[in-house]
Structure 1
Amino acid sequence: MNIKIFLIKVIVLSALSWGTIEAFFYFDPYKKHDFETSYNAIIIDKYKILQETPSPKVVLIAGSNFAYGINSKLLTDSLKKPIVNMAIHYNYGSKFMLKQLESELKKGDTVIMGFEYIIESKGNISEQMLMARYFPKAHEWIEYDDIFERIRAYSLLRIKVFRVGLERLIKQNKIDYSINDTTSVFFRGAANQYGDLVSHYNNPRFKTIPRAILSDKMSLKESIQDMNLFYKTMKARGVEVYFVYPTYSEENYALDKPIIEKYKKEYDSLAVFPILGKPTDFVFADSLYHDMAYHLTQKGGDIRTRKIIQLLKKK
Structure 2
Amino acid sequence: MNKKVQQFSLKACLLLFLTLGSIEGAYRFDPFGKHDLKTSYKAAIIDKYKRLENLKSPKIVLIAGSNFAYGINSQLIEQAFQQPVVNMALHYDYGTDFMLKQISPQLHTGDTVIMGFEYIVESKGNLGEKIQMMKYFPKAKEWFTYDNIFQFIGANSLVRVSAFKLLLERILKQEVTTFSVSDTTSIFFRGALNESGDLISHHNNPRLKVIPRAVINDKASLDSAIVDMNAFYSKMKKIGVKVYYTYPSYAESSYQFDKKIIEKLDKQLKKHALFPILGKPEDFVFVDSLCQDMVYHLTKNGADIRTQKVIELLKKNDN
Task: Between 155-164 and 70-79, report the one with greater CA deviation.
Answer: 155-164
Q: Please give the residue correspondences for 1:12-91 in structure 2 after superposition, counting only pairs within 5 Å.
A: 12-91=14-93
Q: How far does the alpha carbon of each residue in 1:208-254 deviate from its partner, in whole angstroms, 9 at most, with x for none?
A: 01122111012110011000000001111110000000010111100
- Identity, % of aligned pairs? 58
Mapped to 2, the partners of 1:239 and 1:211 lie a distance apart of 37
Quote the offset at 1:2 in angstroms: 2.2
Q: Please give the residue correspondences for 1:241-252 in structure 2 after superposition, counting only pairs within 5 Å.
A: 241-252=243-254
Mapped to 1, the partners of 2:191 and 2:204 lie a distance apart of 14
Mapped to 1, the partners of 2:101 and 2:297 lie a distance apart of 24
CA contact (8 A) 2:120 2:221 kept: no
Counterpart of 1:179 in 2: which secondary structure? coil
Mapped to 1, the partners of 2:67 and 2:26 lie a distance apart of 35
Q: How far does the alpha carbon of each residue in 1:251-276 deviate from its partner, in whole angstroms, 9 at most, with x for none?
A: 11001001000100100111111101
Mapped to 2, the partners of 1:172 and 1:91 lie a distance apart of 31
Q: How far does the alpha carbon of each residue in 1:4-27 deviate from its partner, in whole angstroms, 9 at most, with x for none?
A: 221111111100111111111121
Mapped to 2, the partners of 1:28 and 1:288 lie a distance apart of 40
Q: Does 2:137 align with 1:127?
A: no
1:286 maps to 288
Q: Please give the residue correspondences for 1:109-124 in structure 2 after superposition, counting only pairs within 5 Å.
A: 109-124=111-126
Counterpart of 1:292 in 2: which secondary structure? coil
For structure 2, the residue ranges without an aligned partner over 5 or more in a row are none
1:253 maps to 255
Quote the offset at 1:279 in angstroms: 0.2
CA contact (8 A) 2:187 2:202 kept: yes
1:159 maps to 161
Mapped to 1, the partners of 2:273 and 2:304 lie a distance apart of 28
Aligned with 1:271 (options 260, 270, 273): 273
2:176 maps to 174
TM-score computed with the length of structure 2 as normaliser: 0.97
Aligned length: 315
Q: How far does the alpha carbon of each residue in 1:114-136 deviate from its partner, in whole angstroms, 9 at most, with x for none?
A: 00011011010101110000000
For 1:201, the aligned partner's letter is H
Counterpart of 2:166 in 1: which secondary structure? helix
